[in-house]
Amino acid sequence: MLELNKVETFYGTIQALFGMSLRCEQGQVTTLIGRNGMGKTTTVSTIIGTLASRGGEIRFDGEVVTGKPAYEVAQLGIGLVPEGRQIFPNLSVRENLIATAANYSGSSDPWTLDKVLEFFPRLHERLDNQGNQLSGGEQQMLAIGRALMLNPRLLILDEATEGLAPLIRQEIWRRLEQLKESGLTILLIDKNIDEMAPIADRHFIIEKGQVAWEGDSDGLTGDAELKARYLGI
């Protein structure tokens, strides 16, 4: 569904991606993992079109999206749960959810406000609270709910559970598993390798702006040397 082929991205004269290649197969959970500063967020920004690449190609569902503006990429059906959640602090939960809603996948059974509230009952209880009154876990549920309200075909989560307590993390993993079961394609960035491995199909380790290793969950979790070398764990 998504394919990056030798993508090169710069911040001014500083190169951050050096021939980055990655694939997300339809209906699968793919992870992008690596230590801080290796290029995960840069990869996400390049996919969604907020950073322009200077080389290589990105295809989404067969269509070349390299160079397209971010709003066009979103309309093709790529939804983002950004690092730091970025919810609107002065809007209520309800307003956050409906502000950007759309049916970009053209689904016959789209995500609606009611459906998102059923999926995250906690948000139902907080419907009239402002974004800045929510806990970190509630903010992340809201960020996921807001992305679902776009009815994406591919959902990207940049740091899916960063800073969240173990119980909340478990809830997020359960929900992501349900989304996978519903057929949604997911690209997941997170540091909790062992927690996300059970729901993931394929992993890409990024090291200095390029892929250093690619494999399945067994290959990743069972290889202590690999984890120590590239992930520092």
Distance in Å from the first CA to the final CA of the chain: 31
User: Which residues does 191 contact at the CB level (< 8 Å), separation at least 6?
Assistant: 33, 159, 162
Q: Which region among 35-43, 112-120, 135-143, 167-175 touches ligand ATP (by CB under 6 A)? A: 35-43
**Among residues 36 and 182, whose Cβ is nearest to ligand ATP?**
36
User: Which residues does 67 contact at the CB level (< 8 Å), separation at least 6?
Assistant: 49, 52, 53
Q: Is 82 in the site for ligand ATP (CB under 6 A)?
A: no
Tokens, residue 118: 């059923």
Q: Is 40 in the site for ligand ATP (CB under 6 A)?
A: yes
Q: Is 9 in the site for ligand ATP (CB under 6 A)?
A: no
Answer yes or no: are the C-beta atoms of 93 and 128 closer than 8 Å: yes
Answer yes or no: are the C-beta atoms of 86 and 41 closer than 8 Å: no
**Given candidates 30, 42, 46, 151, which one binds ligand ATP under the rule CB under 6 A?**
42
Distance CA 65, CA 17 (A): 17
Q: Is 68 in the site for ligand ATP (CB under 6 A)?
A: no
Size of interface with ligand ATP, in residues (CB under 6 A): 11
**Given candidates 2, 33, 39, 117, which one binds ligand ATP under the rule CB under 6 A?**
39
**Given candidates 13, 14, 106, 114, which one binds ligand ATP under the rule CB under 6 A?**
14
**Given candidates 36, 90, 108, 182, which one binds ligand ATP under the rule CB under 6 A?**
36
Question: One-letter amino acid identity for 111?
Answer: W
**Given candidates 30, 31, 41, 140, which one binds ligand ATP under the rule CB under 6 A?**
41
Q: Is 34 in the site for ligand ATP (CB under 6 A)?
A: yes
**Among residues 65 and 189, whose Cβ is nearest to ligand ATP?**
189
**Among residues 69 and 84, whose Cβ is nearest to ligand ATP?**
84
Exposure letters 76-115 (e unless 16+ CB within 10 A, then b): bbbbbbbbebebeeebbbbebbeeebeebbeeeebbbbee
Q: Which region among 8-16, 104-112, 132-140, 212-220 touches ligand ATP (by CB under 6 A)? A: 8-16
Q: Is 224 in the site for ligand ATP (CB under 6 A)?
A: no
- Residue 24, classed as helix, strand or coil, is strand
Binding residues for ligand ATP, rule: CB under 6 A, are: 11, 14, 16, 34, 36-42
